[in-house]
Amino acid sequence: MNTISQMPITFLSVGHFCYDVSPNGYILGGSASYSTLTVRNLGYCARAVTAVGANFDRQNPLLDGIEIVYCKSTDTTIFDNRYDENGYRQQFILGTAERLTGRDIPTEWYHSDIVYLCPIANEVSPEVIHCFSEDTLIGATPQGWLRQWDTNGKVEAKRWETAQDILPYIDVLILSDEDLRTHRDELEKYIELTPIVVLTQGARGATSFQNSTQLGSDAYTVTEVDPTGAGDVFAAAFLLTYYQNRLVEDALNFAHCVASFAVEGIGTSHIPKLSQVMSRLRSV
């Protein structure tokens, strides 16, 4: 069975912490929060550079153990996610925090082992990509670069105008079928520009594209309660494993396993510990 070691790894997420609307009020959301919670729960050093407003609870115990740089902002990014019977999501954005630039990254974090660029509302400036050392493994999820919204906050898809400014400088792009729902033709361009592209398809698994080679990987069969954030849990787990052994097949399997726990509960509540993952992890 493949394993993940407990070698010291520093993992930095760059993107907004946000609030997601739930029946019981606001809950913690955002790619940066899901990914750093995953990294912390698996036993590694989790860091984040984010921007939030005064209404964000910086003392939230859910964030204990994560090193966080909070950039000043008038507002906090807030999403209202509504899913239909087929699992498709319609989003409404109720507020947006300030944009993140290269000046917001602490110089002592330039040498992080893994950097995860994870915008949710077009908040990560392309210049951020040039802050990090050559040895840093850089991953990204593009969903925040693929969103636009109208005056009522209704979120719609758009083409990624800055893709050519970012993709040649990253190592792994992880995106979902939903990200490509409107502009499916963009996938070929992403594959041409990026060493590794991973396309996730929810319960149908994922496909990686590397050096003109495709590799399919099955998801774990579980009862899904809430898919929100699962893609970011998957991405963080994939990057951690790939950083250690550079084996895409192992990274896909480990990421599917970690994400299978995350969808079994609401929000961040079921992001697993490493011991839980190892008890479910299948051989590849």
DSSP 202-271: GGG-EEEEETTEEEEEPPP----S--TTHHHHHHHHHHHHHHHH--HHHHHHHHHHHHHHHTTSSTTTTP
Q: Tokens 């939030």 identify what position?
A: 52
Pairing verdict, β 147-149 and 25-29: unpaired
Q: How confident is the model at residue 284 (pLDDT cuts 50, 70, 90)?
A: confident
pLDDT digits (tens, 9 = 90+) for 264-274: 998 899 999 99
pLDDT at 3: 57
Q: Is 117 left (phi over 0), alpha (psi -120 to 50) or beta?
A: beta
Task: Name the pTM for this structure.
Answer: 0.94
Question: Could you give the CA distance from residue 193 to residue 191 in angstroms, rounded to a whole number?
Answer: 6
pLDDT at 126: 96
Q: Which helix (H) or strand (E) is 201 found in, with range?
A: none
pLDDT at 228: 85
Assess contact for 274 and 4: CB atoms under 8 A.
yes
Q: Work out the mean pLDDT of the chain and round it to a whole number.
A: 94
At 139, give phi and psi (nearest 5°). Answer: -115, 160
pLDDT at 1: 44
Question: Could you give the CA distance from residue 13 to residue 234 in angstroms, rounded to a whole number?
Answer: 14
> Is it the case that residue 165 has pLDDT exceeding 70?
yes
**What ranges do the domains of the chain cover?**
10-275
Q: Which helix (H) or strand (E) is 154 found in, with range?
A: none
> Is it the case that residue 51 has pLDDT exceeding 70?
yes
Assess contact for 4 and 244: CB atoms under 8 A.
yes
Question: Which segments within the chain are labelled E, that is strand?
Answer: 10-14, 18-22, 25-29, 45-52, 67-72, 77-83, 89-95, 114-117, 137-140, 147-149, 155-157, 172-176, 196-200, 206-210, 213-217
Assess contact for 176 and 201: CB atoms under 8 A.
yes
pLDDT at 240: 98
Q: Which has more pLDDT, 185 or 89?
A: 185
CATH superfamily of 10-275: Ribokinase (3.40.1190.20)
Question: Could you give the CA distance from residue 137 to residue 115 in angstroms, rounded to a whole number?
Answer: 6
pLDDT digits (tens, 9 = 90+) for 185-209: 999 999 999 999 999 999 999 999 9
Go through the chain and tell me how many residues it has.
Answer: 284
- Mean pLDDT value across residues 76-82: 92
> Is it the case that residue 2 has pLDDT exceeding 60?
no
- Mean pLDDT value across residues 7-24: 93
